[in-house]
Amino acid sequence: MTYSLAIHGGAGTILKSRLTPEREAAYHAGLQAALAAGAAVLRADGRALDAVTAAVCVLEDDPLFNAGRGAVFTSAGAQEMDAAVMDGRDRRAGAVAGIFGPKNPVLLARAVMERTGHVCLIGPNALELARAAGLAFEDPEYFFTEARWQSLQKVLALAAEGRVSDDPAQRHGTVGAVARDRAGDLAAATSTGGMTGKAPGRVGDTPMIGAGTFADNATCAVSGTGHGEVFIRWTAAAEIAARMRHRGDSLEAAANAVVMDELAAVDGSGGVIAVDRDGTIAMPFNCEGMYRGWVREGSAAETAIYADAR
Ligand code: ASP
């Protein structure tokens, strides 16, 4: 069996006119670095779970993406991060919500899965687990980026006038990875700072299993990005798997139906990356762009940003 890996770095109003060539190149480089990290695991006969974790760590470390370093700010000027992992072999899952401090929130989500009998931890006890697991912590200066801070100021200024930004890509973002390894096992991981100006304590779709993150060897692995509240209400990721399981839909048909029809019809802007047990990859999104990358064993890694660049 051959491996497949897909990643995303968020979706939204990503227009060529709004990205300088240098910034565009930086996004492609960041995506390529994440693909390389994940593919290295898969090439060495590693597990899909390790590959998605490795790819997401690279994206969390890159301040361009809204996860880990460079996460967006809440309305109170804090950073609160959500992350999840899921293992398609047995549907084991781990998640954290609203955390700040661990350098790589995805590693803490994984620790929840591997070191506790629970699926999701929040608050001081989540951080306690991170310390017990020996995970790295960083200071506020590490996570801070001027661009995200300025985005918050814009969102707050508009909110004071009772308006919202016309550029959702400035307000949110998320990173994620899905993989099938050489053993045929699937896994998904997702990590985010959420949405700029979100209420303190708001939790998005990312750490909610079946909404922004899902993996089951019987069907597919999915990682979503977009308007989290809608992804939660439509249980977006689980719905893709359910269409495959109950209707016999192909991955592409199921992912397209959920993203292009269901979510698009209800203000659910965004997209997903998904892989099935045959290693087929689908990456539909219903907005202008989605930072994304994919690699299949034997082919070169590819990255794309806009809708017409597949
Ligand atoms: N889905 C994320 C959230 O709502 C944001 C995003 O993907 O852009 O937290």
pLDDT at 12 > cutoff 90: no
User: Residue 171 has what pLDDT?
Assistant: 66
Provide DSSP, 88-122.
TTTTEEEEEEEE-SBS-HHHHHHHHHHHSS-SEEE
Homologous superfamily of 4-306 in CATH?
Answer: (Glycosyl)asparaginase (3.60.20.30)
Query: Can you tell me which atom of ligand 1 is nearest the CA of 203?
Result: 9
pLDDT, average across residues 81-93: 98
Percent of the chain exceeding pLDDT 90 equals 91
pLDDT at 128 > cutoff 60: yes
Percent of the chain exceeding pLDDT 70 equals 97
With a 6 Å cutoff on the Cβ, whether 228 touches ligand 1 is yes
User: Residue 19 has what pLDDT?
Assistant: 85
| Reported confidence tier of residue 15, pLDDT bands at 50, 70, 90 | confident
pLDDT, average across residues 217-243: 97
Note the pLDDT tens digit of each residue in 136-174: 999 999 999 999 999 999 999 998 998 877 665 556 789
Catalytically active residues, by annotation: 174
Count of alpha carbons within 13 Å of 222, Cβ hemisphere only?
Answer: 36
With a 6 Å cutoff on the Cβ, whether 68 touches ligand 1 is no
User: Residue 30 has what pLDDT?
Assistant: 98
DSSP structural state of residue 199:
P
With a 6 Å cutoff on the Cβ, whether 205 touches ligand 1 is yes
With a 6 Å cutoff on the Cβ, whether 293 touches ligand 1 is no
For the chain, how long is the longest CA-to-CA vector? 56
Structure tokens at 157: 């200024």
Ligand 1 centroid–CA 150 distance in Å is: 19
Ligand 1 centroid–CA 299 distance in Å is: 30
- The b-or-e profile of 63-99 (16+ CB within 10 A means b, else e) is bbbbbbbbbbbbeeeebbbbbbbbbbbeeebbbbbbb
With a 6 Å cutoff on the Cβ, whether 204 touches ligand 1 is yes
The structural domains of the chain, with segments of one domain joined by +, span 4-306
pLDDT at 310 > cutoff 50: no
Ligand 1 centroid–CA 199 distance in Å is: 13
User: Residue 144 has what pLDDT?
Assistant: 98
Note the pLDDT tens digit of each residue in 46-66: 999 999 999 999 999 999 999
pLDDT at 243 > cutoff 50: yes
Contact 209, 95 (CB under 8 A): yes
Query: Can you tell me which atom of ligand 1 is nearest the CA of 168?
Result: 8
